[in-house]
Amino acid sequence: MPAFMTGTSKNPSVRWLKPSGEPVACVEKIKVLNENHEELRQMVRDALEDALLMGCSERHVREVMHALIDEVIPAYGEREDP
């Protein structure tokens, strides 16, 4: 399990980090980040399963999805710690 993940393999959670490397401490921010993470996980799983059912290579679909994440440019830059 990557260092930023906590919990168990059946119930992993993310330790969200600020640009400084310090953990995000605000409970509401963590709640939103966790909800976004779970929604994205389900969406990615659905897309991967669709591709497999249509005969695509799992390895190739994963490569395409990784490239998509790398291509995304946020509208906002990282915020410095206040």
Contact 6, 12 (CB under 8 A): yes
pTM exceeds 0.85 for this model:
no
| Distance of alpha carbon 50 from alpha carbon 30, whole angstroms | 30
Instruction: Say how many domains are in the chain.
Output: 1
Domain that holds residue 67: 5-71
pLDDT value at residue 13? 81
Could you read off the pLDDT tens digit of each residue along the chain, which spans 82 residues?
A: 565 666 555 556 899 999 999 999 999 999 999 999 999 999 999 999 999 999 999 999 999 999 999 999 999 988 876 5
| Distance of alpha carbon 59 from alpha carbon 35, whole angstroms | 27
